[in-house]
Structure 1
Amino acid sequence: PLPLTLEELYHGVSQNYRITRTLRSGETQSVKIHLRVSPSWRDGTRVRVPGVGNERAAGGFQDIVFVVEEQPHAAFVRAGDDVLVSVQVPWADAPPRPYSSSSDATEDDADACGEEDEAVYVRALGGREYAVPIPRSLVEAADGTRIVGAGMPVRKGGKLLGRGDLIIKCVYLHLARHFLDRRLTLRARWEFAFADADKGQRHRWQQLKKAMHWKL
């Protein structure tokens, strides 16, 4: 395997490896391999390096095939030529903005947030920082904001044809706490209604928690 980070697959990188190959005589030989990683590579890409493997019985040397193994990234997830990132934001009680069915934005549009707009700032793999307005509805947040041309490089025949997109999705921090508060409220009401409950009622509460996958 050839382990590579998402940054290395985005920018491209040159790496040197040293391997030990076996000769026909039984002796071993150290060989230095220089690999130039192309930004078009992705997980599973097979890279053949000719004539650097073990010596064949009939003469000549075998080829070595490296298989790219993309390493997990702490923030980004690659989806084809696109890059996805989730950003945690607090829920704001401000009135929602009118929802637009078009959530695509160019690189310049993403930076053009008004002074009154609340925004999240995301630094893409290329190093550029984008300011994206925080969505004011769950529907808008689910769609995410697509920054056209801020994703992974797309190459063919050694030429850069373009780039995929960066998709930014906001995850509201209040939701988990909101549902937790509702569960706690339900438990309080249950205990109030069945303050002197017998063992059977307490057992029903345990069954309810198990059925709803609650951890209280």
Structure 2
Amino acid sequence: MGVSDYYKILKVNHDATDEELKKAFKKLAMKWHPDKNYDHHKKEDFEAKFKQISEAYDVLSDPKKRQIYDFYGHYPLNSHRYNKENGDGNVKDHEKKGVVESSLGCTLEELYKGCKRRLRISRIVPDELDNLTSIEEILKIDIQPGWKKGTKITFPGKGNQENGAAPADLIFVLDEKPHALFKRDGNDLVTTQKILLVDALTGGKTLNLKTLDGRDLTVQVTEIVKPGSELVVPNEGMPISKEPGKKGNLRIKFNVMFPSRLTTQQKYELKKILE
């Protein structure tokens, strides 16, 4: 099979469950089994296709073989020994041009405060008999306050290794998990708050927010809230990693809540006031 894509062969996603793999294999096996072919001119095609399907299912249905395949990009079926222990299931790897890149998901709180992460990795290396096998290591990563999505942390020589070649580098690429309240925009934090129409027109609204480092932040809305307007709170955004002690801004957008209905008298009085 070489570097064929087993997932495409079985027509499943990369996160397919065991049950989904089993159903996909059964469906394709029924279609391509050589015994189902009554045209002897096409028998070789059916046999080749059925072999591909069987090989793909053999690898993906075995947790250890599947991890090696996902990690290494293919599963060398002629290797004498593979021993794949469970690694960190939150790290998704792919190899290209001698470098292994792994997506490292972080919460917005972790990127705000900084944190230390310990990651168990599994990588493919030749053993003393030049058979490809799997080893495990623990790597430590210090995530600094303010680091952004896409930041890369490189561990030289900690990737996969083929026979006769130097080990690849391992690179972790920071990814940002969605947050329930805030969105990041560069060094700024953006949140949308609901506000009644009367408060938008008269001011006097108090907003109580919980910051990413657990503080209670009180913000007073004193001005008229116009369509598209934002309230900017300085120095309450994300830390700026290259400028210690400095932060971006907190930008508050508003979702003005209109009343569902007005009485005739209310409409008359409102018109009189606004005119």
TM-score, L = length of structure 1: 0.64
Match of 1:27, SS? strand
Q: Kindly tell me: are residues 178 and 168 of structure 1, through their superposed partners in 2, closer, same or farther at Cα, counting changes over 3 Å?
A: farther
Cα deviation for residue 96 of structure 1 reads 3.2
Matched, 1:38 2:125: no
Q: How does 1:45-64 map to 2 (within 5 A)?
A: 45-58=151-164, 60-64=166-170
Distance across 2 between alignment mates of 1:49 and 1:149:
34
Distance 1:5 1:73 in 2: 7
The answer for the alignment partner of 2:179 in structure 1 is 73
Equivalent in the alignment of 1:143: 229
42 and 95 in structure 1: CA distance in 2 versus 1, 3 angstrom threshold: closer
Corresponding residue SS for 2:240: strand
> Root-mean-square deviation (CA), in Å?
2.6
Unmatched tracts of structure 1, length 5 or more: 98-116, 182-216
Does 1:160 find its partner at 2:250? no
- The higher radius of gyration belongs to 2
After superposition, the C-alpha distances for 1:96-154 in whole angstroms (9 at most, x for unaligned) are 36xxxxxxxxxxxxxxxxxxx33111222232322222355342x63221111111011
Gaps of 5+ in 2: 1-102, 264-275
Which residue in 2 is equivalent to 1:12?
114
- Whose helix fraction is larger, Structure 1's or Structure 2's? 2
Match of 1:123 in 2: 210
1:82 Cα shift?
0.1
| Paired letter, 2:244 | L
Q: Residue 95 and residue 67 in structure 1: after superposition, are their counterparts in 2 closer, same or farther (change >3 A)? A: closer
Shift of 1:94: 8.9
Q: Determine the C-alpha separation between the residues in 1 that align with 2:120 and 2:201.
A: 61
Paired residue secondary structure (2:197): coil
Residue 155 of structure 1: SS of its match in structure 2?
coil
Cα 1:136–1:163 shift into 2, 3 Å: closer
Distance across 1 between alignment mates of 2:201 and 2:193? 21
**Cα separation, 1, equivalents of 2:120 and 2:109:** 23
Shift, 1:161, TM fit = 4.8
Shift of residue 19 of structure 1?
1.5
Q: Distance in 1 between matches of 2:135 and 2:167?
A: 12
Mark the CA change 1:132 to 1:68 in structure 2 (over 3 Å): closer, same or farther. Answer: same
Distance in 1, Cα, partners of 2:168 & 2:220: 55
TM-score w.r.t. the length of structure 2 is 0.51
- The 1:93/1:138 distance shift into structure 2, 3 A limit, reads closer
Does the alignment pair 1:27 with 2:133?
yes
Query: 1 or 2 for the larger relative contact order (CA 8 Å, sep ≥6)?
Result: 1
User: Which of 72, 80, 85 is 2:191 aligned to?
Assistant: 85
Contact 1:134 1:170 in 2 (8 A): no
- Comparing 124-133 with 2-11, which one deviates more in the overlay? 124-133
Superimposed CA distance per residue, residues 2-30 of structure 1 (whole angstroms, 9 cap, x where no aligned partner): 11111111011111111211122212111
% of aligned pairs identical? Answer: 28
* Residues 51-60 or 19-28, more deviating: 51-60
The question of whether the paired residues in 2 share the 8 Å contact of 1:10 and 1:153 is answered with yes
Q: Going by fraction, where is strand more abundant, 1 or 2?
A: 1
Match of 1:169 among 253, 256, 270: 253
SS in 1 for 2:109: helix
